[in-house]
Amino acid sequence: MYEELVEIVKNKLKSSSHDLSHTFRVYSNCIKIAQNEPNCVVDIDILQAAALLHDIARPEEDMAKDGKKVDHAILGAQQAQEILVNLGKTQQFSESVASAIKTHRFRGGLVPETMEAKILFDADKLDVIGNIGIARSYMIAGEQKQDIYNDCDINEYVKNNLVGGVPSGKIIDISKHTPNIEFATKNVNIPNKMFTQTGKELALARLKRMEEFFNILKQEIRGSM
């Protein structure tokens, strides 16, 4: 099943920031958390399938136009379930994978309930912080035509451009968003949102590296170093 799912994902994902390499990193993060989390009992097949298929509907969300709203977690759960049933997996297995995918989104508002879902959530969040998180932030910034840096008052930005507040509010104007704002309004909250102790420990280490980068970048932007 692994090879079949990889081929499906490879043919579907085209975004540079949400591509097959991101999927593989999330997959590896899932395995690492599952192996290191104390007293962790998971169905590894469900976890692996959820990791491989978690972004399967990302293209539909990215291509949505004319104000149409597509939640790739919700749609992806539906698509994943159909894919797995077509591959001969049981309804129960397919529904368990779909449940994990449906709750993996940071801004989605749905809470992971199973251990597989919690691990997937944490594994996906790890890939938006640290050095890899910085690299992906600038990929996304380029895709959305954002500036390199916005030297603004974060509180004013949140008040005027983030409906619902931090850390999961809806961004009103994505063009005004920048990687440093994403760090200040979302990334800094990730460790406290983790569901596993292993995920939180890994997140704290990655966040420290990210904080150092943006502190130096701010000084360079301001010409103070």
Q: What is the pLDDT of residue 168?
A: 61
Q: What is the pLDDT of residue 152?
A: 85
Q: What is the pLDDT of residue 38?
A: 93
Residues 6+ apart with CB under 8 A from 49: 1, 5, 80, 84, 89, 93, 97
pLDDT per residue as tens digits for the range 108-128: 678 999 999 999 999 999 999
Class of the domain covering 1-110: mainly alpha
Residues of the chain with pLDDT under 50: none
Query: Would 1-110 and 128-225 be classified into the same CATH topology?
Result: yes
For residue 156, count CB atoms less than 10 angstroms from its CB and return exposed for 0-12, middle for 13-18, buried for 19 or more: exposed
Q: Determine the angle formed by the axes of helices 91-102 and 72-86, rounding to 10 degrees.
A: 160
Distance, in Å, from the CA atom of 28 to the CA atom of 59, rounded to the nearest integer, reads 22
Distance, in Å, from the CA atom of 85 to the CA atom of 75, rounded to the nearest integer, reads 16
Distance, in Å, from the CA atom of 216 to the CA atom of 125, rounded to the nearest integer, reads 23
pLDDT per residue as tens digits for the range 13-57: 877 778 899 999 999 999 999 999 999 999 999 999 999 999 999
Q: What is the pLDDT of residue 68?
A: 67
Q: Which fold has domain 128-225?
A: Hypothetical protein af1432 (1.10.3210)
Q: What is the pLDDT of residue 155?
A: 83
Q: What is the pLDDT of residue 172?
A: 74
Q: What is the pLDDT of residue 174?
A: 78
Domain ranges in the chain are 1-110, 128-225
C-alpha dist (Å) from residue 54 to 57, 65, 149, 219: 8, 22, 30, 37
Distance, in Å, from the CA atom of 127 to the CA atom of 100, rounded to the nearest integer, reads 17
